Structure 1
Amino acid sequence: MSDRPTTIKEALDKWEKKNEMKASEATEIGLQFQMPPIEKMTPELAALKNCEKLSLSTNNIDRIVLPPLPNLKILALGRNNIKSFAGLEVLCDTLEQLWISYNSIEKLKGIELMKKLKVLYMGYNSIKDWNEVSKLTALSETLTDFNIYGNPVIETSENYRVDVIQRLPFLKMLDGEPALI
C-alpha cells in the first residue's frame, strides 16, 4: 500500500465507480474513511455543484479549503486535524449543519458568518474559554442544536449545561438532550 495520501480526485473516482454515477450529479457524497487518508481539500471539490451533504470525516485534513458549493447544507468533517473554521466562509449562505467533532479547534472565529447554521456538532475539540462559546450568540436566529461535550471548557464549570444554556438560551438541544435547565 502507498504511503502517500489519497487525493480528492482519487477518492471521487472511487466513489463514482462504487456508486455508478458522476459525483457532479450526486446530492450526497461520502469520502470518509479513505485509506490512506485524505490530507488536503483540493479544487476537484468544485465539481460537486449538486451536493447537499458532503462527508470528509475520518481523514487527516488539517485545513478547510472549499470552493463555493451552492447547494451544500450538511458538511461532515469529524475526526480530522482541523484547527479553525477558516475556509468555511464560502458556505455562509447555505450551510445548515456542521459536524466537526474530534478535531483541534480552539477558537470559534468565523462561525458568526454561518447565517443558516442550525446544527453545530463540535464535541471533543479544544475550546477552553467561555468567551468562545458566547460567540455563538451571533447565530441566535438559527442555531438550535449544539454539541460541546468533551471540550476542556466544560471542565471549568460546576454544571456546564447551565453555563451553556445561560449563554445560548435559544438552543433546543445540547449534547443530544433537550436544552433545559
Structure 2
Amino acid sequence: MSDEDTPHHANADEPLPDTPLTAGLIQPSISLLARTGDGLSHAYTRLSLPSHSLTDIAILKNYTNLRYVDLSMNAIADLSPLANLEFLLSLDAHGNRVEVVGRELGGRKWLQWVDLRNNGIRNWEAGDWPMCGWLTLDDNALTTLSLPTFPSLLHLSLTRNTLERLHPLGAPKLQKLYLSHNPLGAVAGVDLDDKPALQVLHLRECGLGSLEGIGGREGAGLDGLVYLNLRGNNLSSTAEIDRLAHMHSLRILVLTDNPLTSHPTYRLEILARLPKLERLDKEPIGDDEREEAGAYKIQMVAKRGGEDGEGGEEAEADAEGESDGQGEEPQDDD
C-alpha cells in the first residue's frame, strides 16, 4: 500500500452491538483440511470471517489447529484468544479495534505473515516472532515500538502512526522499511544498525532536519540501500547528502518538498555527491546531466582547494562511475 492510499478506519467511538463469534458462524467459514501439527489426525486449518461486525473471538481458544485466520474489518478489541493457536501461520486482523498486542501473543514460532493495520494499537508487548517475514502496522497509534527478535523479517510497514522511536529492531534480513508520516524528528530514533539487506527505506514527512545517524552506528549499515524516500522533510543543506556517500548501492533518491530543493544548482549538488544515482525525484538522470554534474564536482573540489590536485582526479573518477541499476524498484509515492 502506498503512502497516498487512505484505508478504512474502524471507529472505536461508534457503538456496536455485542457480536461474539459462535460455532454457527465458524462452521460455514472454516476450510482447508490438513494434517494436524502432531501428525496424528486431520483438522480444518483456515478461517475466513471478514466484515461480520464481530466483537468477541473467545471461542477461538478451542480451535487450536487453525493456521490461516482472516478476521479483518470487524470490531474486535482483544486478540488474546489467538494465543492458543500454536501453529498459526498467517493473521489478517486489519480494520478492527485492537489497542494492545499483548505478551501472550509473543513467541509465535510459526507465524509468518501479519496484517494489523488500521486498528488503534498504542501498545506492543509481543515478543519474538522468529519466522515472521511480513508485518504491517500502518494507521495505528504507536509512539514507540520494540521488535528485538525478528530474524526472518523482510517487510515492515509503520506508516501513519505517531512513531518517535523504533528501537531495537532485531531484523538483520529486513529488505523494506516504510516509516512515512511519523513524527520521528531524527533518524537516530530508528535502529538502522546491522541492516545489510535493506533495499527500500521510506522516511517521507518524518520531520527530519538532518540525516545524522542514517548509516547506523558504524556509518555503513545501509550499504545495500537502493531506494530512499525523504520527501517532505526539513532538509535545508545539500551538505546533508554527504551523509549518504557510503550508500554505494543507492540508485533512487526522493527529496521533493525539502527546502534544499530550492537551491539553484540543487540537482548538480546532489549528483556531484552521489554520482551513481539513476533517478532524482521524478526525473531520470541522463548522460548530459551526469557529465555536467561531474564537471560541477571538479569545480567544487577546486574551490575548496583540493589537496595536491587529488580531489579533482577523484571527482572525475566518480563522475565516470557505472550505474548498474541494482534491486527492485519499489512502488513510487513521490
Q: TM-score range by the shorter chain?
A: 0.7 to 0.9
The equivalent residue for 2:93 is 18
- Any idea what SS the aligned residue of 1:120 has? strand
Question: Offset of 1:95 from its aligned partner?
Answer: 1.7
Matches of 1:134 and 1:67, distance apart in 2? 25
Displacement after TM superposition at 1:17 (Å):
4.8
Matching residue of 1:82: 184
Separation (CA, whole Å) in 1 of partners of 2:78 and 2:261: 37
Matched position secondary structure for 1:16:
strand
Letter matched to residue 244 of structure 2:
L
For 1:72 and 1:147, locate their aligned partners in 2 and report how far apart those are by CA, in whole Å.
21
Instruction: Tell me the amino acid that sits aligned with residue 143 of structure 2.
Output: E
Equivalent position amino acid for 1:97 in 2: V
Classify 1:151/1:51 alpha carbon distance in 2 versus 1 (closer, same or farther; 3 Å). Answer: same
Q: Secondary structure at the match of 1:41?
A: strand
* Matching of residues 51-130 of structure 1 within 5 Å: 51-86=153-188, 87-112=190-215, 113=220, 114-130=222-238
Q: CA deviation at 1:159?
A: 4.3
Letter in 1 for 2:195: C
Kept in 2, the 8 Å contact 1:46–1:67? The answer is yes
* Secondary structure in structure 1 of the residue aligned to 2:161: coil
Displacement of 1:122 in angstroms is 0.7
Alpha-carbon distance in 2 for matches of 1:177, 1:61: 31
Query: Which has the larger share of helix?
Result: 1
Tell me how far 1:83 sits from its aligned partner. Answer: 1.6
Largest Rg, 1 or 2? 2
Distance 1:50 1:129 in 2: 37
Amino acid in structure 2 at the alignment position of 1:84: A
The two structures have a TM-score, normalised by structure 1, of 0.79
- Secondary structure, counterpart of 2:239 in structure 1: helix
Inter-partner Cα distance in structure 1 for 2:278 and 2:163: 31
Q: Quick one: which amino acid aligns to residue 144 of structure 1?
A: R
Structure 2: any 5+ residue segments left out of the alignment?
1-11, 14-76, 83-89, 95-109, 115-128, 290-334
TM-score, length basis structure 2 = 0.45
CA distance in 2, matches of 1:72, 1:108: 20
Q: What residue in structure 1 maps to residue 249 of structure 2?
A: 142
Question: Corresponding residue for 1:160?
Answer: 266
Residues 11/76 of structure 1: CA separation in 2 closer, same or farther (3 Å cut)? farther
Q: In structure 1, how many angstroms separate the alpha carbons of the residues matched to 2:265 and 2:243?
A: 20
Structure of greater relative contact order (alpha carbons < 8 Å, 6+ residues apart)? 1
Q: Answer whether contact 2:200 2:225 (CA < 8 A) is retained.
A: yes
What does residue 32 of structure 1 align with? Answer: 138
Alpha-carbon distance in 2 for matches of 1:77, 1:91: 18
SS in 1 for 2:242: helix
Q: The residue matched to 2:165 in structure 1 has which SS? A: coil
Query: What is the deviation of 1:129?
Result: 1.1
**How big is the shift at 1:179?**
2.3
Question: 1:85, CA displacement in angstroms?
Answer: 1.8
- Alpha-carbon RMSD: 2.7
Whether contact under 8 Å (2:238, 2:266) holds in the other structure is no
- For the structure 1 residues 52 and 126, does the alpha-carbon distance in structure 2 shift closer, same or farther, using more than 3 Å as the test? same
